[in-house]
Amino acid sequence: MGGFGRKAYEFLSELGLGPRNPGCFVIAEVMEASIEDYEEGLRACANAAKIWMQIPAPKRGEIVRQIGEALRTKLYYLGRLVSLEMGKILPEGIGEVQEIIDMCDYAVGLSRQLNGSIIPSERPNHMMLEVWNPLGIVGVITAFNFPCAVLGWNACIALVCGNCVVWKGAPTTPLITIAMTEIVAQVLEKNNLPAAIFTSFCGGAEIGEAIARDTRIPLVSFTGSSKVGLLVQQNVHKRFGKCLLELSGNNAIIVMDDADIQLAVRSVLFAAVGTAGQRCTTCRRLLLHESVYQTVVDQLIQVYKQVNIGDPLEKGTLLGPLHTPISKENFVKGIEVIKAQGGKILVGGSVIDSEGNFVQPTIVEIAPSAQVVKEELFGPVLYVMKFQTLNEAIEINNSVPQGLSSSIFTRKPEIIFKWIGPHGSDCGIVNVNIPTNGAEIGGAFGGEKATGGGREAGSDSWKQYMRRST
């Protein structure tokens, strides 16, 4: 882990995960689960489901409350672990863990509001009810870029709805999977409940495929690429299961001629550079009205040149490394494709000659019709393009296969209401005067088209984790 060795030893020891030799650069060794391990875990989880779904929902909420409190006591150390293992800067790592804590708080309130309906019956002296019941087991497959927050969006809601959870974390972030599981298991055991209510596996595609094919798991929530998500969906649907997909994003920010330029520039910087461009909500396309195009581009180039790149655990760092050497290779290949399709590099465009997977934050001037613009390059690469009218900007925004997040910067109410209406953005998340990245847990998070159509976290997303009995 290079220069992270001593730091890693200190906070992994606090989590009970530390190596015996603090001078060793190998900070942990993790054995991945086999199919035999998976089968043993699923049997235990299925037995635990019979107990968990019988517990009243408010009492299930109390267990989730305790999980949130346990996470609070380890917030700083878990946040550092996320930053170390994934590569995002420390404020983002801590913020990710805080998001699970917030989801726990939200789920506690929800546990007393899983309301059904009383519906007028057409038959005399009859009553018709709608009752919501648990599914049983919910499978959650998460990606490296948010190694624990996405788990929280799903698991907190699934648990209060009366479901057990089977989680497969990303194979490149096993330590956060283990740490989270230890914390949840301790809460369950303290309350004399089976630890298998929350069952997790460190593993690769073999375990993910087993979850997708397992008839004991009525709902599978998958976060990852559209390509893999489609395979998961096909396997789940073959057995008539339900799928909740959170897939690729190709998010655009539109800056109108009346926009607050300084606000827009700050927002674009954080949306495009944060997490080294490895968020599903990263701003990848910047659409600028022709009258403000050069002003915005010039200001962005200046702030890009000032981005502090380095150790994600150090204060003041804005851009940490890409997650793996393969991520860096994909960045290099992506830049070559961009140039071949007429893209002009305005700033950045190269890897940084140092230890680690560091690359330059990059701005590319390119035509919106270029094929590469339609694809998601998972790195800090921002495409800038020019438009003349609002309708043209909306058409460009909607022209890609993905439909996760979108944003417009304007002061005009008539533009805002068109943007959020049926003839505006076709994305699941539609923002005004804020960037594309991030979301509030009270709302339903998810997107349309090749983003999968799933919804997680707030609003009425909880209904996906239950079955309706009329």
**Phi, psi angles (nearest 5°) of residue 212:** -65, -30
Separation of alpha carbons 203 and 160, rounded Å? 26
Q: What angle do CA 248, 302, 277 make, to 5 degrees?
A: 15
SS3 for 129-178 is: EEEEEECCEEEEECCCCCCCHHHHHHHHHHHHCCCEEEEEECCCCHHHHH
Residue 198's DSSP bridge partners are 165
Cβ atoms of 404 and 429 within 8 Å: the answer is: yes
246 as an active site residue: the answer is yes
Separation of alpha carbons 318 and 305, rounded Å? 12
Separation of alpha carbons 358 and 2, rounded Å? 13
Separation of alpha carbons 143 and 227, rounded Å? 14
How are strands ordered across the β-sheet holding 198-202?
A: 198-202, 164-169, 137-141, 219-223, 242-246
- The secondary element (H helix, E strand) that includes residue 72 is helix 57-73
Using CA atoms, how far residue 21 sits from 9, 12, 29, in Å, is 9, 12, 13
Separation of alpha carbons 312 and 172, rounded Å? 17
Task: Using DSSP, state whether 345 is helix, strand or coil.
Answer: strand
Separation of alpha carbons 407 and 363, rounded Å? 18
* Closest to 80 measured CA to CA, from 388, 347, 313: 313
Question: How far is it between the farthest Cα atoms of the chain?
Answer: 79
**For the residues of 383-419, what is the DSSP string, one character each?**
EEEEESSHHHHHHHHTTSSEESEEEEE-S-HHHHHHH
Rg (CA), the chain: 23
Q: Find how far residue 34's CA is from the centre of its chain.
A: 26
Total residue count of the chain as it appears in this document: 470
3-state class percentages of the chain: helix first, strand second, coil last, to nearest 5: 45, 20, 40
Quickly list H helices, 285-443.
Answer: 293-305, 325-340, 390-397, 413-419
Provide CB contacts within 8 A for 332, sequence distance 6+.
351
Q: Of these residues, 96, 99, 246, 376, which one is catalytic? A: 246
Residues labelled catalytic: 246
